[in-house]
Amino acid sequence: MAEHDLTVIMLVAVPVLGALFTSLCPAQSRRAARLIGLLSSLTTLGIWVYLRLVLPPRGLLIGIHATWVESLGVSCFLALDAPGLLLAGLVAVVVTAAMAATRRQDEDARRSVLLLLLAEGGMLGVVTAWDLLLFVIFWEVTLVPFFFLMGPGPERRNVSAATRLLVTSVSSSVLLWVGIMVVVVQAGRPFTFDLQVLGQRLAGTGLAGWAWLFVPAFLMRLAVVPLHTWLPVAVAGVPTSAAMLLVGAVVPLGGYGLWHVLHGLSPMHYFELAPWLTWLGVITALAGGMAALVQRDLKRLLAYAFISQSGLILCGLATATAHSAVWPLLLSMGLTASGLFLFSGVICAARGSQRILDMGGLWRSHPFFSGLAFAAVASVAAIPGTLGFVGVVGVLQELSGKVLLAACLAAAGVVMAGMVVLWAYRFVLGGSHIPAVWSHQRWPLRRQVVVLFVLAVLLLASGVMPGLAAAPAAVSARVATLVGQAGAPR
């Protein structure tokens, strides 16, 4: 059963309207721009909380389903199912955290707020789009604000990383466009881009080899080996808010897109891809963990640790019975990345260096702020009582029932990455504190401490009460239906 609720439209519209109002602010009105941005992101988060309460236990919560271009079969179809609801919540939380954590002294606060709100609107459009053409439009549009967030701006750094992300995304998206056209033609007339209708028409016929056309675009966003090279370069130099969004929201959306589109179009052929995706995930988990071992740049070390987690996420997505466990892992990755890149961004800016060996003594100078970061560090290391533990153990448990060797190798990679993050955290906190080498300005800002505190509470509360991060019953219903259609995975 599908239910209608116009609040789904508001979820996407509020950030866009906030960006519009921000653009109307005078160039020097930094306070007004920040206020509009924070109110817009908080309103979006409030709308998500409402939707979390009203989502029907089975089926979709439809915001709008109307014909857009009748001759081409294009519709304006915005809706939320249970996985989409969880990812929408992650996007809302991460953007709100990034908005609140931006520095007061930014010269062009209006520009930063405008880009953050446009990025949020685009990502929420990806989550709610159930028309393939609308999905890919939102998928590509999100690149624009991210390019400018990463490139020229207040910090004037990492234009090359922004260009690399743009070029690799557009290149992989060419295959995505070709795959969509092939699927639409194969589904027959009248042409349609409706994901549900396409899934019904393709039932029994499937996608055959054309399914691989969809894979590169999603794996690139998920930062899976060998399409991961953009991430370490990007996060090493971009502003803190951009790093929080890249790893906290964009990377998890890559995993969601893979499942949402391929699983929705043809469960049978999605499961046929599962062995390949599983071993690709294992390679990514191991490669990320080993690469993290040799990093001496704090932000690059964190990037490779999360690439290792991306590999485990891909293993979970490739295993049909792991869907209930992979969503908490996606949420854990997003919240943890937001917290750790906020923490690393603050201390690297205060120290004027990203080299781990240049840091030390933070426990003596900032014990409370440093202690809050431990919740995120513990989640990366999958320590019991954190959301990361719930996701990692859940996926490994399901994966071990299918391919025990793959589960052992993936676990080795993730544990390796977690131990490296723990080592870096211990090194940054320990040792003697030398005030002369740190910034004499006040840091961290009070709101940055509040943001890190809230993220820590979410990670620990979801770890103690896993039901908070679990997908509603609609996930189980949809997975059971699709597994029944496709049969047991190979």
Binning the chain into helix, strand and coil, the percentages to the nearest 5 are 75, 5, 20
Q: 147: number of CA atoms within 13 Å, CB side?
A: 13
Where do the H-state alpha helices sit in 151-250? 159-187, 195-202, 215-221, 230-237, 240-245
- The three-state secondary structure class of 420 is helix
- The three-state secondary structure class of 262 is helix
Contacts of the segment 223-227: beta carbons below 8 A, 24+ positions apart: 223/251, 223/254, 223/306, 223/307, 223/310, 224/280, 224/281, 224/284, 224/307, 224/310, 224/311, 224/314, 225/280, 225/283, 225/284, 225/287, 225/288, 225/307, 225/311, 227/168, 227/172
Q: How many CB atoms lie within 10 A of CB 341?
A: 30
Of the chain, the percentage scoring pLDDT greater than 70 comes to 87
SS3 readout for 98-135: HHHHCCCCCCCHHHHHHHHHHHHHHHHHHHHECEHHHH
Q: How far apart are CA 103 and CA 159, in angstroms?
A: 21
Handedness of CA 373, 83, 213, 163 (dihedral sign): negative
- Under the banding of pLDDT at 50, 70 and 90, the label for residue 342 is very high
pLDDT of residue 489: 38
Q: Which among 67, 112, 107, 60 has a CA at the least distance from the CA of 85?
A: 60
Pick from 49-58, 299-308, 346-355: least confident: 49-58
pLDDT at 486 over 80: no
For 101, the token pair is: 């954590």
Integer CA distances (angstroms), 382 to 222, 422, 463, in order: 20, 11, 10
Of the chain, the percentage scoring pLDDT greater than 90 comes to 30
- The three-state secondary structure class of 4 is strand
- One-letter amino acid for residue 267 of the chain: P
Q: What is the rounded average pLDDT of the residues 47-54?
A: 85
Pick from 140-144, 290-294, 350-354, 419-423: least confident: 350-354
Q: How far apart are CA 99 and CA 448, in angstroms?
A: 10
SS3 readout for 59-102: CCEEEEEEEEEHHHCEEEEEEECHHHHHHHHHHHHHHHHHHHHC
Give 208's DSSP letter. G
pLDDT of residue 293: 92
pLDDT of residue 374: 92
Is 267 within 8 Å of 485 (Cβ atoms)?
A: yes
- One-letter amino acid for residue 139 of the chain: W
pLDDT of residue 477: 43
- One-letter amino acid for residue 400 of the chain: S
Is 333 within 8 Å of 306 (Cβ atoms)?
A: yes
- 358 Cβ partners below 8 Å, 6+ apart? 351, 437
Q: How far apart are CA 298 and CA 143, in angstroms?
A: 26
- One-letter amino acid for residue 423 of the chain: W
For 29, the token pair is: 């009105």
pLDDT tens digit string along 344-401? Answer: 988 888 888 888 888 888 888 888 988 899 999 999 999 999 999 998 998 898 888 8
- Under the banding of pLDDT at 50, 70 and 90, the label for residue 127 is very high
pLDDT of residue 96: 92
Whether the model clears a pTM of 0.85, i.e. scores above it, the answer is yes
Q: How far apart are CA 231 and CA 284, in angstroms?
A: 13
Handedness of CA 120, 140, 111, 17 (dihedral sign): negative
Note if the bond before 444 is cis, omega within 30 degrees: yes
pLDDT of residue 480: 42
- Under the banding of pLDDT at 50, 70 and 90, the label for residue 484 is very low
Pick from 106-115, 219-228, 238-247: least confident: 106-115
pLDDT tens digit string along 9-41? Answer: 899 999 999 999 888 887 677 788 888 889 999
pLDDT at 341 over 90: yes
pLDDT of residue 262: 84
pLDDT of residue 408: 92
pLDDT tens digit string along 275-295? Answer: 889 999 999 999 999 999 998
Q: Which among 480, 302, 462 has a CA at the least distance from the CA of 394?
A: 462
Q: Which among 194, 162, 169, 232 has a CA at the least distance from the CA of 64?
A: 194
